[in-house]
Structure 1
Amino acid sequence: MQSLPLGEPSPADLSAIVAEWPLIAAELDLLDAEITNIYAVEHGGPSPLDWRRLRRAEARVTRMAAELAARPASRREVA
């Protein structure tokens, strides 16, 4: 079994996080929109605005993932 390294993230780890941050942020926004819709079901159902927010968040995740995948391998900095 391999143990996890303790301490601070390496510069390569930080670079990978920075490179992927737009996708991470988009996924967090999508999660928030999904939670809002789940909560709304118990209170009369999601509004048209809730559904629009969910669709926009899904589109943003797709767009950010495509942009990240389209980057040259040298710019992706995978740890």
Structure 2
Amino acid sequence: MDHIVTVQDAVTVFADFMEPTDVALDAIEQEMPVILADVELLDAQIVTLDRTPSELDERRIRRARRRALAARVALVNRAAGTSLPGGAA
């Protein structure tokens, strides 16, 4: 007879060993400005889901979109700057 094990049991058995590594936490920390900018953009978009966006709403969305794009560009530039040996660009 085969025993049926729930998924929860299988996950909790290994939970102590599946902590994020320091490298993963550092990567999350580096991406945090992008994450926060995306959350701000989503907040601005969610406000307008149930109504017609006003001029102020449209400005808020545009501003949040620009911040999100700027955060992504900054992250890519930082990553490109750190991956090139000797500081060559």
Deviation at 1:48, TM superposition (A): 1.2
Aligned to 2:76: 69
Gaps of 5+ in 1: 75-79
Identify the range of structure 1 (45-54 vs 21-30) with the bigger mean alpha-carbon deviation: 45-54
Aligned to 2:53: 46
Aligned to 1:15: 26
What's the TM-score once normalised by structure 2's chain length?
Answer: 0.67
What's the TM-score once normalised by structure 1's chain length?
Answer: 0.75
Aligned counterpart for 1:55 among listed residues 57, 62, 65? 62
Higher relative contact order (CA 8 A, sep 6+): 1
Aligned counterpart for 1:28 among listed residues 39, 44, 52? 39
Partner SS, residue 38 of structure 1: coil
Q: Which amino acid aligns with 2:49?
A: I
Distance 1:28 1:8 in 2: 25
How many residue pairs match? The answer is 67
Gaps of 5+ in 2: 1-13, 84-89
The CA deviation string for residues 35-72 of structure 1, in whole angstroms up to 9 with x for no partner, is: 11112x2xxx2121111110000000110000000012
